[in-house]
Structure 1
Amino acid sequence: MFKQGKSFLVFPVKVVFYQPEIVGYSLQTGVGAGTRHFKRAVHRNRIKRLMRESYRLHAAPLQQYLLEQQKPLAVFLLYIDKVLPDQELLHQKMPVVIRRLIKELHEVDATAT
């Protein structure tokens, strides 16, 4: 996914996505936070928990788009900032991430046709 996929940045979240060659709707999502800036597992786990919750609350438009297109997608959300985020920051950024992802997918579909 990291070698063949495409990526973009909506600070503090880096998004890597890949559309596999399988038929039908499927959506796989992963989240991560690096050990370079967060040495303690407690902090990394908190970041991942906050990102999962924010994604869960805002992912409906992406799920709807993929269902309409009948396309599979694998997405990885990587937190790249150096400070611990609060829930409000991620709730503000996640809709921007989802809209940008849909836009990128639409552009990929347009160039493929």
Structure 2
Amino acid sequence: MSSKFPKKEKLKSEILIRSIFEEGKSITSYPLKLIYLDIKEQSRAKIQCGVTVPKRNFKSAVKRNRIKRLLRESYRLNKEQIFNNIEGSFAFLFLYIGKEIPGYEEVEKHMRVILEKFLKKVTNENSIE
């Protein structure tokens, strides 16, 4: 599977985003936070993902966009580790909760940690059921 981030994997549904914030579970690896939701109805993609950076911490749109670009890129390169190991469909929302502009290495490291935590949590939940 090539490392791409096609349109069908992008989280755009306002209803789904709202339900992620209301019902989603979260995992944190500072400065990243992943809020995810198990989607019952089968969507077009196994995982739909969105990224967000709060305007409160970064007033400049240029800085917010840079951080979002870093988040999307590190997700794109590391998504294989979850795509091949999960059942069902999920909606992901990555929040950047840090106060400084990160380097790519920092984002990459925490992205790997957060995806591993997600895998462990989901496989434990599925084994309990």
Dislocated runs of 4+, deviation >6 Å: none
Q: Unaligned stretches of 5+ in structure 2?
A: 1-19
Q: Distance in 2 between matches of 1:41 and 1:110?
A: 43
> How many residues matched?
109
Q: Distance in 1 between matches of 2:77 and 2:39?
A: 25
Alignment-derived partner of residue 6 in structure 1: 25
The amino acid that maps onto 1:92 is: K
Q: 1:37 aligns with which of 48, 51, 57?
A: 57
Does 2:72 align with 1:52? yes
Cα-Cα RMSD? 1.3
Q: Which moved more, 1:6-15 or 1:99-108?
A: 99-108
What is the TM-score when the length of structure 2 is the normalising length? 0.79
What is the TM-score when the length of structure 1 is the normalising length? 0.90
Identity %: 34
Q: Matches of residues 1-113 of structure 1 in structure 2 within 5 Å?
A: 1-23=20-42, 26-66=46-86, 69=87, 71-111=88-128, 113=129
Cα deviation, residue 7, structure 1: 0.5
Q: Distance in 2 between matches of 1:107 and 1:99?
A: 12
Q: Which moved more, 1:21-30 or 1:50-59?
A: 21-30
